[in-house]
Chain A
Amino acid sequence: MKLTLKVWRQKSKDHKGNFENHQIEASEHMSFLEMMDVLNERLIEKKADPIAFAHDCREGICGTCNMVINGKPHGPMKGTTVCQLHMREFNDGDVIVIEPWRAAAFPIIKDLVVDRSSFDRIIQAGGYISVNTGQAQDANSIPIEKDVAAQAMDAATCIGCGACVAACPNASAMLFTSAKVNHLALLPQGQVESSKRVRSMVKQMDEEGFGACSNTGACEVECPKEISIENIAAMNRMYIAAVVGQQDQV
């Protein structure tokens, strides 16, 4: 299949970016990233600068392969990361526009690669349990209701890719933060610190320069792990209660 790619090129955060057009012959069995690999090989052969794009696991679990394809973070397929997207989703002759995540809190490093360390700092602010776990204990020593365990698991599937921020017209990180807050708060080990955790993580999120949630719901539409915005409501509830009942500073 013959495709025209319009790819965003930008030397660094401080350079102005622009679209660059490329023609490519791709097989429908290729993954999207393999197609990008082929394009880069061509560019290297021509002694041109290859397109910088991030990737790691290529199996949909690390959240590194971030690009906006035809206006959709992670491309047209629902519940899928770019590395799991295949060229059979496109048609011969298509024009594909590829852009980086756009959000002030995710500055562009080069081309399609953005700096998502703001997410790491949100996690560092409280996305953990501060107890020494020691040896793994028997799985059934703390009974947890099936529904609750499932809810916690659903929230825990967030891979921290940032597609929610990329999709959000406000560049809000509420879906990511709420997924992290909830998966810990739902389980007994995480409940203990939940009030402090939600306050510190929200504070960090605001400091990183993410926008305010206006409940457009774009995040849950584009999330490759289909995290629900119910998590955002649950975090809001927890946050309001935590701030009202606040006893210590974060």
Chain B
Amino acid sequence: MSLTGLFLITFLPVHLLGNFLLLAGDGGEAFNVYAKFMTGNPLIKFISIGLYAFIVIHAIQGVIVWRVNKAKKGSRYAVQAKNTNWAASNMGILGTIILVFILIHMYQFWLKMKLGWIPPVTIDGVEMSNLYATVSGIYSNLFFVIFYVVSMVVIGLHLSHGFQSAFQTLGLNHKKYTPLIKALGTGYSILIPLGFAVIPVWMYLAQL
């Protein structure tokens, strides 16, 4: 869980940086060029296959841990006092929501791109898919904007426990560095999802 989780954590900032090109204000030119590069480059292809594999492994591990632990607890208390934070004891629920989000998200952009359902655009004489238009189309729908923002809150909660938990599992704790890791984890789980959430909101408002 910890190793696959840490890998997935490193993926998010990279994804976010690319996405910020959506806000470049150039009618999507930079973003479309970037999207073409990402779909064509063999190294990126290799990394993304690894990424999908890690998502699947992480999810399977999660289901196993959840099932085994539930059986090992046996029965539940009639009264349950609050002795952990909510995210820590609901990682399975949060993870499931995230998985559903990823599937919808990949259908909306990645699959359409792969199937060539995205209308073309010509930039500097090169024809490419106008992914930007698809993105801004989806983000003109308030329902999807809310869906994306809520999903980012869920990811933030999942990260808020997952980030520092991964270090604890790997035994990487230290009097001096553990508070730092925890602070970093909190910052990360707020800033990264916030960065992602800004994009649909911004694009929605820009189209009003």
**B51-106: which have CB < 8 Å to A?**
65, 68-69, 71-81, 83-85, 88-89, 91
Contact B68–A221 (Cβ < 8 Å): no
Residues of A near B161 (CB, < 8 A) are: 215
Residues of chain A within 8 A of B72, CB atoms compared: 103-105, 170-172, 209-211
Contact with B along A43-61 (1 / 0, CB 8 A): 0000000000000000000
Q: Could you say which residues of chain B place their CB within 8 Å of the CB of A218?
A: 83-84, 89
Docked CA distance A234–B178 (Å): 12
Is the interface on chain B under 10, 10 to 19, 20 to 34, or 35 or more residues? 20 to 34
* Shortest beta-carbon distance from B56 to chain A in Å: 20
- Asked whether B84 lies within 8 Å of A102 as measured between CB atoms, the reply is no
* Interface contact A216-B170, CB-CB below 8 Å: no
Q: Which of A219-250 contact B (CB under 8 A)?
A: 221-222, 229-230, 232-240
**CA–CA, A8 to B77, complex, Å?**
10
Chain A residues whose CB sits within 8 angstroms of the CB of B108 once the complex forms: none
Q: Is A188 an interface residue (CB 8 A)?
A: no
Q: Whole-angstrom distance between the alpha carbons of A61 and B8 in the complex?
A: 45
Flag if A214 contacts B74 (CB, 8 Å).
Answer: no
| Bound CA span A171–B91, Å | 16
Q: A235 and B171 in contact (CB under 8 A), knowing A71-B79, A102-B77? A: yes
A19–B77 Cα distance when bound, in Å, is 12
- B77–A233 CB distance below 8 A: no
Does B150 count as interface, using CB distance less than 8 angstroms?
A: no
The answer to whether the Cβ of B169 comes within 8 Å of any Cβ in the partner chain is yes
CB distance from A79 to the nearest CB of B (A): 14
Q: Does B165 contact A (CB under 8 A)?
A: yes
Given A99-B78, A230-B173, answer yes or no on A171-B69 (Cβ-Cβ < 8 Å): yes
- A217 touches B (CB below 8 Å): yes
A103, B165: Cβ atoms under 8 Å?
no
Residues of chain B contacted by A172 (CB below 8 angstroms):
69, 72
Q: Are A236 and B73 in contact (CB under 8 A)?
A: no
A190 at the B interface (CB under 8 A): no
Query: CA separation between A102 and B88, bound complex, in Å?
Result: 19
A9 interfacial contact with B, CB 8 Å: no
B84 touches A233 (CB 8 A): no
Q: Return the chain A residue nearest B64 by Cβ.
A: A212
- Choose one: B75, B168, B171, B173; the contact of A239 (CB below 8 Å): B171
Which residues of chain A are within 8 angstroms of B170 by Cβ–Cβ distance?
Answer: 236-237, 240
The 8 Å CB contact of B73, one of A104, A230, A235, A238, is A104
- The answer to whether A234 and B84 have CB atoms under 8 Å apart is no
CB distance from A128 to the nearest CB of B (A): 23
Q: Are A214 and B91 closer than 8 Å at their CB atoms?
A: yes
**B47 at interface by CB-CB < 8 Å:** no
Assess the A70–B81 pair: CB atoms within 8 A. yes
Q: Pick the contact of B74 from A72, A104, A232 — CB < 8 Å? A: A104
Assembled-state Cα–Cα distance A70/B81 (Å)? 7
Contacts of B172 in A (CB 8 A): 233, 237
A-contacting residues, B131-178, CB 8 Å: 161, 164-165, 167-173, 178
B168 A236 Cβ-Cβ under 8 A = yes
Q: Which residues of chain B are within 8 angstroms of A70 by Cβ–Cβ distance?
A: 79, 81
Task: Give A180-212 as 1s and 0s: 1 = Cβ < 8 Å from B's Cβ atoms.
Answer: 000000000000000000000000000001111
Tell me the complex Cα distance, A171–B172, Å: 23
| CB proximity to A under 8 Å, residues B14-68 | 65, 68
Cβ-defined contact, A170 with B73, below 8 A: yes
Taking a contact as CB atoms under 8 Å apart, the answer to whether B74 and A171 are in contact is yes
| Known interface pairs A234-B171, A236-B171; A221-B77 also in contact (CB < 8 Å) | no
Residues on B lying within 8 angstroms of A by beta carbon are 1, 65, 68-69, 71-81, 83-85, 88-89, 91, 161, 164-165, 167-173, 178
The 8 nearest A-B residue pairs measured at CB: A237-B171, A71-B81, A236-B171, A233-B173, A211-B72, A170-B69, A71-B79, A216-B84
Interface pairs (16), CB distance under 8 Å: A6-B78, A71-B81, A72-B83, A104-B72, A104-B73, A168-B73, A169-B69, A170-B73, A214-B91, A215-B88, A215-B169, A233-B171, A233-B172, A236-B168, A237-B172, A238-B171
